[in-house]
Chains A and B, each alone.
Chain A
Amino acid sequence: MQSPSSEMVHDNSWEHFPHEADIGVRGIGMTKEAAFEQTGLALTAVITEPTSVAPTQTVSITCEAPDDELLLVDWLNALVYEMATRKMLFSRFTVRFNDHSLNATAWGEAIEVARHQPAVEVKGATYTQLSVKRDEQGHWIAQCVVDV
Chain B
Amino acid sequence: MDLNLLKRHGRDEWHISPRGKMRVPGVIYATESLIHDMDEKVYEQVTNVATLPGIVQASYAMPDAHWGYGFPIGGVAAFDPDLGGVVSAGGVGFDISCGVRLLRTGLTVEDLPAVKELLAEALFHRIPAGVGSTGLVHLDKHEMDAMLAGGAKWAVGKGYGLHEDLEFIEEHGCMAGAKPENVSDHAKKRQQDEMGTLGSGNHYLEVQQVVKVFETDVGAVFGVREGDLVVSIHCGSRGLGHQIGTEFLKSMVTSAARHHIELPDRELACAPINSEVGQEYLGAMRAGINCALANRQIVTHLVRDVFADILPQATLSLLYDVSHNTCKVEEHRIDGTPTRLFVHRKGATRAFGPGHPDIPPALRAVGQPVLIGGTMGTASYVLVGTEESMALAFGSACHGAGRSMSRHQALRQWHGREVVKDLAGRGILIRSPSMRGVAEEAPGAYKDVSEVVDAADDAKLAKKIARLEPLVCVKG
B-binding residues in A (CB < 8 A): 1, 16, 18-23, 47-48, 65-66, 70, 73-74, 77, 80-81, 84-85, 87, 111, 113-114, 117-121, 123-128, 130, 145, 147-148
Minimum distance in angstroms from B87 CB to a CB of chain A: 17
Q: Which segment, of B118-126, B241-249, B420-428, faces chain A?
A: B241-249
* Chain A min CB distance to B195 (Å): 14
Determine if A74 and B406 form an interchain contact, defined as CB atoms under 8 angstroms apart.
no
Contacts of B41 in A (CB 8 A): 20
Contact B67 A81 (CB under 8 A): no
Instruction: Looking at the assembled complex, report how far the CB atom of A43 sits from the nearest CB atom of chain B, in whole angstroms.
Output: 13
Quick check: is B399 within 8 A (CB to CB) of the other chain?
A: no
B407: contacting residue among A23, A118, A125, A128, CB under 8 A: A23
Per-residue A-contact encoding for B398-421, CB less than 8 Å = 1, 0 else? 000011001111010000000000
A117 vs B246: C-alpha distance when bound (angstroms): 26
Categorize the interface residue count of chain B: 35 or more
Q: Is the CB of B246 within 8 A of A113?
A: no
B84 within 8 A of A: no
Residues of chain A within 8 A of B246, CB atoms compared: 77, 80, 124-125
Q: Are A18 and B409 in contact (CB under 8 A)?
A: yes
A118 to B438, CA, bound (A): 11
Q: Are B254 and A66 in contact (CB under 8 A)?
A: yes
Query: Quick one: given A16-B408, A148-B201, are A127 and B253 in contact (CB under 8 Å)?
Result: yes
A117 touches B434 (CB 8 A): yes
Q: Please, what's the 1-or-0 string for B223-267, where 1 marks a CB less than 8 Å from any CB in chain A? A: 000000000000000010011011001100110000000000111
Shortest B116–chain A CB gap in Å is 24
Asked whether B132 lies within 8 Å of A21 as measured between CB atoms, the reply is no
In the assembled complex, which residues on chain A have CB atoms less than 8 Å from the CB atom of B403? 20-21
Q: Are B436 and A127 in contact (CB under 8 A)?
A: no
B39 partner residues in chain A, CB cutoff 8 A: 20
B69 and A127 contact, CB distance less than 8 A? yes
The complex places the Cα of A108 from the Cα of B6 at a distance, in Å, of 50
Known: A84-B239, A120-B440. A47 touches B131 (CB 8 A): yes
Nearest CB in chain A: distance from B94 CB, A:
4
In-complex Cβ contact of B66 among A21, A66, A70, A111 (8 A): A21
**CA–CA, A73 and B249, complex, Å:** 11
Are A123 and B131 also in contact (CB < 8 A) when A16-B408, A20-B406, A147-B69 are? no
Q: Tell me, in angstroms, the Cα distance from A120 to B432 when the chains sit together.
A: 11
Contact residues of B with A, CB < 8 Å?
39, 41, 66-70, 73, 93-95, 130-134, 186, 189-190, 199-201, 239, 242-243, 245-246, 249-250, 253-254, 265-267, 269, 402-403, 406-409, 411, 433-437, 440, 476
> In the bound complex, what is the Cα–Cα distance between A21 and B39 (angstroms)?
11
Closest to A145 in B: B69
Do A21 and B73 touch across chains, with their CB atoms under 8 A apart?
Answer: yes
| 26 pairs of residues in contact across A and B, judged by CB atoms under 8 Å | A1-B408, A20-B39, A23-B407, A47-B131, A70-B250, A74-B250, A77-B246, A81-B190, A84-B190, A85-B189, A111-B132, A117-B437, A118-B200, A118-B434, A119-B200, A119-B407, A119-B437, A120-B437, A120-B440, A121-B200, A123-B245, A124-B94, A126-B267, A127-B249, A127-B266, A148-B407
Which residues on the B side are within 8 Å of A18 (C-beta)? 406, 408-409
Residues of A close to B265: CB separation below 8 A: 127-128
- Scoring A16, A77, A84, A125 by chain B CB atoms within 10 A of each residue's CB, the highest score goes to A84
What's the Cα separation between A118 and B67 when bound, in Å? 25
B67 & A127 in contact (Cβ 8 Å cutoff):
no
Which of A19, A74, A77, A125 contacts B67 (CB under 8 A)?
A: A19
Interchain CB contact (< 8 A) of A81 among B132, B186, B199: B186
Expressed in whole angstroms, the minimum distance between the Cβ of A25 and any Cβ of chain B is: 11
Q: Could you tell me the distance between the alpha carbons of A60 and B472 in the complex, rounded to whole angstroms? A: 42
Assess whether B408 is in contact with A123, with CB atoms less than 8 Å apart: no
Q: Which chain B residues border A127 with CB–CB below 8 Å?
A: 69-70, 249, 253, 265-267, 269
